[in-house]
Structure 1
Amino acid sequence: MDNNINPVKVRILDKEYVIACPEGQQAALIESSKRVDGEMRRLRDSGKVIGIDRIAVVVALNLAHELLNLQQSSMLSTDEQALHQQLQNLQDKLDALLQQYNKNLLIPS
């Protein structure tokens, strides 16, 4: 594991935060902070949630929900691939059995 940690300044809702960030992850952290800032601004500007703490919690829950949905979608596609492979294996076995059966029919007794 890379032990080089650097401070990175990010700005969310006009407040600056200094975040410890592993070397090479600065760009991802900055993009993440931009996403959080954008979501918090959108929610604040909608007027549906009042208070920075509440806005932060709602945005965190929304982003966590989005992440869980993406993970579940990814698992489903993995499950679908496994199912497809199992079906292909069954099809191959059936083809082999049918070929063997047809060979046996053609052998004169």
Structure 2
Amino acid sequence: MSANEPVSIHILDREYTVGVEPEERSSLMAAAKLLDSKMREVRGSNRMAAVDRIAVLAALNLAHELQQLRDERHSRDREFSRALDDLHRRLDEVLDAPR
């Protein structure tokens, strides 16, 4: 088992040090970059906006995107399941047909 290592990330011009498993470092860095980008997008040109408000709105935007992806996956899963059921039905019909 590997130990957490400290990693410095920069989000909205602030530095944070967090512990992360070495194999998860690149994923954490990508997440920090995404969050920084979202927070900058939310802040826009309003440099005086409260950081906590920016963080909440950025988190809400990311959560909304995540929920949309989950909804899309659920819809694809249902479609896939229907297609499999249809294929099973057709296969059963072929196998049950008199020869």
Q: TM-score, normalised to structure 1's length?
A: 0.79
How far apart, CA to CA, are the structure 1 residues paired with 2:45 and 2:79? 39
The CA deviation at 1:79 is 1.9
Structure with more contact order per residue of length (Cα contacts < 8 Å, sep ≥ 6)? 2
**1:38, 1:53 → 2: CA distance?**
15
Partner residue in 1 for 2:95: 96
Looking at structure 1, the residues matched to 88 and 77 of structure 2 have their Cα atoms a distance apart, in angstroms, of 17
2:17 alignment partner in structure 1: 18
TM (normalized to structure 2)? 0.86
RMSD: 1.8
d(CA) in 2 for partners of 1:15 and 1:46?
Answer: 17
CA–CA separation in structure 2 for the residues paired with 1:66 and 1:6: 30
- Which structure: larger Rg? 1
Letter in 2 for 1:11: H
Map Cα deviations across residues 13-55 of structure 1 (whole Å, 9 max, x no partner).
11000011112111111111111111111111154x9311111
**Unaligned 5+ residue runs, structure 2?**
none
Q: Distance in 1 between matches of 2:16 and 2:28?
A: 12
Aligned length, in residue pairs: 98
1:24-103 counterparts in 2 under 5 A? 24-47=23-46, 50-97=49-96, 99-100=97-98, 103=99
Query: Shift in Å at residue 94 of structure 1?
Result: 2.3
Q: Residue type of the partner of 2:14? A: K
Gaps of at least 5 residues in structure 1 are 104-109
